[in-house]
Amino acid sequence: MSDVLNGLRRDLLRALLIALLAALVGLAVNSRLLWRALSGRSLSSGSVAVSEPADMVLPLPVELDEVRELQGTSTLLIDARSREAFAEGHLPGARSLPRGEVTSELPSLQAEVPLDIPLIVYCSGYDCNDSFVLAEQLIAAGYRQVRIFEGGLPEWQAAGLPLEGGQP
C-alpha cells in the first residue's frame, strides 16, 4: 500500500515539474504580450503636461471603472475594430470607426461630433494597436480629449458587462 502511495506521490511531483517547465516555456515565448497585458494598468499613472502643443499630445489611457462611469455622459466610445467585429458585439453606445477607414469616415465624424467631445477609443485589448493609432489620428484631426481604453472589449467581457449588438 505504501509503495502505491509513494509511486503516486512521485508521479504527482513529476507531473507538477512537467507543468512548471511547460508553463515557464509559455511565459518565455509570450513574455512580450504578458508584459504589455500585466503592465497595462501602470501605464494609466503616466501623465502628459497640459501645456504641450496639440501635435505633441499623446492619448492617455483610461481604466474600466472610469469607462463604466462615463457611460451615458457626453463621452463617445469609438470602436477601432473591423465592421464585422463591431457587428458581432461592441460596448454599449459605441460608434464604429475602423482604423483602416479613418480617412473616409473622419469627415462624417467631424460633422456629427464636435471637437470638444471627449472620446474613448478601444479595440481588442492589450495586444491590439489599432486604438492607439486611431487615437493619434483623432488628436491630429483636432479632437483634444482622446483617451484609450487599453483593456478594450476583452476586459469589458471579463468583467461580465453586457455588449450591444451581435447575438442575444
Partner 1 sequence: MKTFLAILYHGSRLALAAIFCYAGSVKALDVVAFAGSVANYQLLPYQLNFLVAATLPYVELAAGLLLLFGRQVRPATLLVAGMNGVFILALLSVILRGLDIDCGCFRPGGEGHTSAQMALLRDVGIMLLAALTWFGHGRRNS
Asked whether the beta carbons of 130 and 148 are under 8 A apart, the reply is no
Q: Which stretch binds partner 1 (CB under 8 A): 4-12, 45-53, 71-79, 92-100?
A: 4-12
Q: State which of positions 45-104 bind partner 1 (CB under 8 A).
A: 64
β-bridge partners, 38:
none
Asked whether the beta carbons of 120 and 75 are under 8 A apart, the reply is yes
Q: Considering only residues 15, 56, 87, 115, which one is a binding residue for partner 1 as defined by CB under 8 A?
A: 15
Amino acid found at 142: G
Q: Considering only residues 86, 122, 126, 132, which one is a binding residue for partner 1 as defined by CB under 8 A?
A: 126
The set of cell numbers assigned to 28 is 518565455
Cβ-based burial of 152 (10 A; exposed 0-12, middle 13-18, buried ≥19) = buried
Asked whether the beta carbons of 78 and 122 are under 8 A apart, the reply is yes
Is there binding between residue 140 and partner 1 (CB under 8 A)?
no
Is there binding between residue 22 and partner 1 (CB under 8 A)?
yes
Q: Which stretch binds partner 1 (CB under 8 A): 27-35, 47-55, 69-77, 140-148?
A: 27-35
- Least distance (Å) between residue 6 CB and partner 1: 13
Q: Is 54 helix (H, G, I), strand (E, B) or coil?
A: helix
Using CB under 8 A as the criterion, which residues of the chain lie in contact with partner 1 when the complex forms? 7, 11-12, 14-15, 17-19, 21-23, 25-27, 29-30, 33-34, 37-38, 40-41, 64, 124-128, 151, 154-155, 157-160
